[in-house]
Structure 1
Amino acid sequence: MVGMIGVLIARWTVLVPVLAVLALGATWGRTLPSIAVPVVVVALIGAVLSAVHHAEVVARRVDEPFGSLVLAIAVTVIEVALILTLMSSGGDKTSTLARDTVFAAVMITCNGIFGLALLIGALRRRIAVFNAEGTGAALATVAILATLSLVLPTFTTSKPGPEFSTAQLAFAAVASLALYGLFVLVQTVRHRDDFLPVESDVVVTADDEHGERPGVRTALRSLALLLVSLAGVVGLAKVVSPAVESAVGSAGLPPSAVGVVIALMVLLPETLAAVRAARRDRVQISLNLALGSAMASIGLTIPAIAVASIWLEGPLVLGLGATQMVLLALTVVVGGLTVLPGRATLLQGGVHLALFSAFVFLAASP
């Protein structure tokens, strides 16, 4: 019996995606009773963790910085799927969901994960060391994408309210996708060394990051299980979304809190991966994960939402409010000052975590 339990624990990443799909089949198209909601939520979180685990296996096969890229794209696929799933049945109530979720992802990654990685790195070595060139380029790309997609809609005049016109949305989608693609080219081909970890001013090769690489068969199996996990995430999110919205309303929180909850849930595995990397003195990997996820969240979500807006009913509000724009501006300015020296202390980590705390507090109490 003990041996069987040990096998089950060891094979959780195989069992969880299957259980998630089974749970989806049992609950699809039905109104969940209160007692079933926690079970579905646990299955959903398990599917998210499993998806990122299998993405990490694939990432180990393709090496760094491709590894961070795979994880970021996997997380963004989950995020986009959740947004589209909720918007497809929410109507006008979900008009700001894409904006709230993308902005929350930017704040979580660029302040929460970013600050946590610097804090852990500084605690281990007094100073967290990273590549200023690559990290600075990533932060600049995030700043441009966020401004183009989330700030400009507040000031454009072609359409009333903080919305893009159809032509403006199409331009923002194409520009975001093109800029993200250009960054990926720079990160993985042209200037790959700028995104590899550093240790005492010595560049660490990609092969040192994960030890033995998994075989092709293992990587392909993880790729298949990754797709199964993502299917479970999308479906279970659709099933549990009414309960999430009801819980947010019952707690007296603003509707924008739904987007924050989605982003926090999706980015939890990414946070754990970044923490593990920082504890191994690989702060650059953590920053690649954080900024790569922020970039993919905007650069891939906005084009997906733009295409989906063809059949989605209701308005699509993308423009940030004044409070959110202040937080975004602070994030970009403070992030630039943090990245410039190529090293950071506890103070820089604490500053970013303070900004993250302010975001969470103001999201619950605007």
Structure 2
Amino acid sequence: MPTRLVGPAEITRIGLGWGAFVVLLLIHPILDPPAPPVTLILALAGIVAVVLICAFGVVKQAEALAHRLGDPYGSLVLTLSIVLIEVVLIAAVMLGPGDHTTIARDSVMAVSMIILNLVIGLCLLVGGLRHGGLRHNRVGTTAYLTMLIVLSVLAFGLPAAIGTDGAYTTGQEIPIVVLTLAVYVFFLFQQMGPRAVDFTEPDAAASARVDAGTHTPIGEVLREHRREIITRLALLVFTVVPIVLLSHDMAALLDDGLGRLGAPPALAGVLIAAIVFLPESITSVRAALAGEAQRVSNLCHGALVSTVGLTIPAVLIIGMFTGQTVVLAETPADMLLLGATLVLSVATFASKKATAMHGAAHLVMFAAYVLVLFS
């Protein structure tokens, strides 16, 4: 049992993150657009610095939990912590003033391109160059991709085909919410229960199947290490929340700065999504360098499954109760990129080993997405 779970570094990171958030609230009038260029640059640089410091703290706790709980439970802790906070913030934006008809669509699309192409591409590139190829558990990875295809069709494809002006009607929203939540909950139940071994590293999965009798049940691990797990989980959440809050406060600053540069407004959403998922991205790259391909899949594919599976029902329910229109249908260019990305993902993880060449292909797809943003 660790002798010191909460040290000066952990306290400093949490204090720095929440302190920066409080400072932003106090100086908000100074940062209202159009803010002076120097003030804008300093504020953005300060936020990015704080986010990076907090992100490494999140990574530390996430890796400790992953070691203690094992996969897929360890990866789920980090994934659900970030995704749930992100969903709550998107919901808060929808419940606030202003027109936010496409916020869910734009946010989830940005997250999809970042996770499926940028993060996974980088992981496969660096992991492939170091190890020659990364072996993953094809049963688990295929389950993730199956879910992503189904959820993407329900979220972005059907509204364009059967909806009105890119949005579901009320009569269509109810079955879509039920179907999305049902398949997501069933997937989580399978992942954490009878099919948990499918989401472990290939060698570990083989050992677990051969010698299942010596495998420590997750319930026993939770009872034996309850204090450590609860403490690390609390540290992770208290360090993650400022990252997400700061990134959304930074949105107005980015809109102001990018507007002066003539950059497309959608670029701000991409940058925000990248910052929100920074801890998960760092953890994924570290896992790839260590040769843990299935952990990369658990973190990246798992995060996206949870993002789509929770965000879409949440915004549709809010839309029904508030009377807001929720536009989910994607533009033809983005729909093409999303479809091509899913096909590429299936091709990449259909092989026994994912290589640096696969990673390069995913990075090219992300570059194409950026090109679409500026078109």
Identify the TM-score tier after normalising by the shorter chain: 0.7 to 0.9
Q: Does 1:279 align with 2:277?
A: no
Percent identity (aligned): 31
**In the alignment, which of 12, 15, 21 is matched to residue 18 of structure 1?**
15
Q: Does 1:349 align with 2:353?
A: no
- 2:29 aligned partner, one-letter code: T
Q: Does 1:145 align with 2:143?
A: no
Task: Please list the CA deviations of residues 181-229 of structure 1 after superposition, one character each: whole Å capped at 9, or x if unmatched.
Answer: 211222222222221112599658999xxxx999432322222233333
Matches within 5 A, 1:57-96: 57-89=64-96, 91-92=98-99, 94-96=100-102
Match of 2:262 in 1: 252
Q: Does 1:117 align with 2:115?
A: no
The number of aligned residues is 351
Deviation at 1:88, TM superposition (A): 4.4
Q: Equivalents in 2 of 1:99, 1:325: separation in Å?
A: 11
Q: Does 1:227 align with 2:237?
A: yes
Q: Does 1:39 align with 2:10?
A: no
Match of 2:179 in 1: 175
User: In 2 relative to 1, CA 56–177 (structure 1 residues): closer, same or farther, beyond 3 Å?
Assistant: farther
Which of 117-126 and 273-282 deviates more? Answer: 117-126
User: In 2 relative to 1, CA 256–140 (structure 1 residues): closer, same or farther, beyond 3 Å?
Assistant: same
2:361 match: secondary structure: helix
- 2:312 aligned partner, one-letter code: I
Q: Equivalents in 2 of 1:164, 1:226: separation in Å?
A: 37
Task: Please list the CA deviations of residues 11-44 of structure 1 after superposition, one character each: whole Å capped at 9, or x if unmatched.
Answer: 3333222232233334336324425454344334
**Unmatched runs of 5 consecutive residues or more in structure 2:** 1-6, 32-38, 210-214
Which of 310-319 and 337-346 deviates more? Answer: 310-319
Q: Is the 8 A contact 2:199 2:298 kept in 1?
A: yes
Q: Equivalents in 1 of 2:58, 2:167: separation in Å?
A: 33
- 1:132 aligned partner, one-letter code: R
Q: Is the 8 A contact 1:197 1:204 kept in 2?
A: no
Consecutive aligned runs of 4 or more in structure 1 exceeding 6 Å deviation: 204-207
Q: Equivalents in 2 of 1:150, 1:243: separation in Å?
A: 29
TM norm structure 1: 0.84
Which of 215-224 and 67-76 deviates more? Answer: 215-224
Deviation at 1:245, TM superposition (A): 2.1
1:253 match: secondary structure: coil
Deviation at 1:86, TM superposition (A): 4.1
Which of 219-228 and 180-189 deviates more? Answer: 219-228
User: In 2 relative to 1, CA 45–81 (structure 1 residues): closer, same or farther, beyond 3 Å?
Assistant: farther
User: In 2 relative to 1, CA 325–150 (structure 1 residues): closer, same or farther, beyond 3 Å?
Assistant: same
**In the alignment, which of 80, 83, 105 is matched to residue 99 of structure 1?**
105
**In the alignment, which of 189, 197, 213 is matched to residue 185 of structure 1?**
189
Q: Is the 8 A contact 1:79 1:262 kept in 2?
A: no
Q: Does 1:129 align with 2:139?
A: no
**Unmatched runs of 5 consecutive residues or more in structure 1:** 1-9
Deviation at 1:91, TM superposition (A): 1.6
Which of 144-153 and 75-84 deviates more? Answer: 75-84
Deviation at 1:148, TM superposition (A): 0.6
Q: Is the 8 A contact 1:97 1:256 kept in 2?
A: no
Deviation at 1:234, TM superposition (A): 4.8
Q: Equivalents in 2 of 1:303, 1:68: separation in Å?
A: 23
TM norm structure 2: 0.82
1:147 match: secondary structure: helix
